[in-house]
Amino acid sequence: MDERTEKRLIAFASQSVRQYGIRAVRMDTIARDMGVSKRTLYKEYKSKDNFIRTCLESYVDRVGNLFRLLRLEAAGPLEYLCALTRAFVDNLYKAELPFWLDITEHYPHVYETIWGIWMSELETAVGECLQGRWLVDGLDPREYVSALSTLFYQARMAGSPSQSVAYSAYLMLRGSMTMEGILRF
């Protein structure tokens, strides 16, 4: 399979998974809708799990690129943390509820991979802001990020509008800033 076809397949499958969940996406549907044979898909990936793993690896690469881009565009660590937090909230809303329900209940390794890359980057960004004294002293990056991300995730699962969650993220982040951080913000 050529690289262009593989990228198109992964993009299509990733969108289908985000919209309907992993369990609802079928290899024969992907093959039919993308104009390739089901046999070709199984020859290339061997199983649906391998194909989903390839989609997940592609997602991890895209998110890594997003982190680098946000860091390059940010004026400093505090601006990066704000942009990263917004991107995290946006990411929660890029996938429909069936996807989140599916991965939390049936594909915990997918959930842990997605959650892990975001939590690690957010913790690093919080740590950098603590070093710059832009966030209140004594804040534990892991606990802070865990509490905020869990709150945002629960709000997403409860059907809260994305703008409400994004505004809450802004207020919570601002409430954690020192005066120097607020003035810089």
Mind listing the pLDDT tens digit for each residue in 41-74? 999 999 999 999 999 999 999 999 999 999 999 9
66 close to 87: Cβ distance less than 8 angstroms: yes
| Six token digits for residue 118 | 């975001």
CA 99 to chain centroid, in Å, comes to 12
pTM over 0.85: yes
Asked if residue 184 has pLDDT above 90, the reply is no
- Class of residue 43 by CB neighbours under 10 A (exposed 0-12, middle 13-18, buried 19+): exposed
Which helix (H) or strand (E) segment holds residue 172: the answer is: helix 162-175
118 close to 63: Cβ distance less than 8 angstroms: yes
- What pLDDT sits at residue 185? 79
User: For the chain, which residues make up each domain, given as ranges?
Assistant: 3-184
CATH topology of domain 3-184: Tetracycline Repressor; domain 2 (1.10.357)
- Tell which wins on pLDDT, 148 or 2: 148
Summary mean pLDDT of the chain: 95
Length of the chain: 185
List pLDDT tens digits, range 127-181. Answer: 999 999 999 999 999 999 999 999 999 999 999 999 999 999 999 999 999 999 9
Asked if residue 1 has pLDDT above 90, the reply is no
